């Protein structure tokens, strides 16, 4: 999966930046080949492609669950290639979700914030804001359905 820079000045405006990033799982076949991508803070990006084209691999490298074979990944100007996932401040929602069925929607959203040591008031504020953003505030006390 290759890419060209978006209309973002990579050295000044980029918040998330991939520079010449490559990824190989076996040392031979490149799953990601020379990815160059710059995104401004607050910008939304959609990655489209068939299964196996490298979309999830890119996100996993950004989150720190995979390492780039070559190149540099930066967040707000800081190289993050060697920063562990729990210190990057990036959340990820997996395609096959892993929610706690014994918790409400609200409790599931608050859990990672609590693990990071945020206070109760701050957790409640962040959860409310997230639910409001996706127009799901009315569902905060629902339990997770096992389907």
Report the C-alpha gap between 45 and 42 in whole angstroms.
Answer: 10
DSSP classification of residue 64: T
Reference 67, options 34, 33, 19, 23; nearest CA is 23
pLDDT of 6 reads 45
Looking at per-residue confidence, does 2 or 68 come out higher? 68
For each of the domains in the chain, give its residue range(s) and CATH number, in order of start: 14-81 (3.40.50.300), 105-139 (no CATH)
pLDDT of 2 reads 43
pLDDT of 18 reads 97
Predicted TM-score (pTM) of this structure: 0.62
- Cβ neighbours of residue 52 closer than 8 Å, sequence gap 6 or more: none
Tell me: the pLDDT tens digits for 51-103?
889 998 999 999 999 999 999 999 999 999 999 988 888 877 766 667 888 88
> Which of 13-17, 79-83, 112-116 is predicted most confidently?
79-83
pLDDT of 95 reads 64
Report the C-alpha gap between 65 and 62 in whole angstroms.
Answer: 8
Q: Examine the pLDDT at 3 and tell me if it is beyond 50.
A: no
pLDDT of 145 reads 73
Q: Are 139 and 131 in contact (CB under 8 A)?
A: yes
Tell me: the pLDDT tens digits for 26-46?
999 999 999 999 999 988 888
């Amino acid at each position: 999966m290759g890419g060209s820079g978006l209309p973002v000045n990579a050295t000044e405006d980029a918040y998330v930046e991939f520079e010449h990033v490559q990824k190989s799982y076996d040392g031979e076949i490149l799953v990601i080949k020379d990815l160059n991508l710059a995104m401004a803070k607050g910008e939304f990006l959609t990655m489209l492609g068939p299964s196996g084209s490298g979309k999830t691999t890119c996100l996993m490298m950004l989150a720190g669950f995979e390492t780039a074979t070559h190149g540099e990944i930066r967040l707000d100007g800081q190289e993050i290639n060697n920063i562990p996932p729990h210190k990057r401040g990036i959340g990820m929602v997996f395609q096959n979700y892993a929610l706690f069925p014994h918790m409400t929607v609200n409790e599931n959203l608050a859990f990672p914030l609590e693990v990071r040591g945020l206070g109760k008031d701050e957790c409640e504020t962040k959860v409310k804001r997230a639910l409001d953003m996706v127009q799901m505030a009315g569902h905060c006390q629902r339990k997770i359905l096992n389907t």
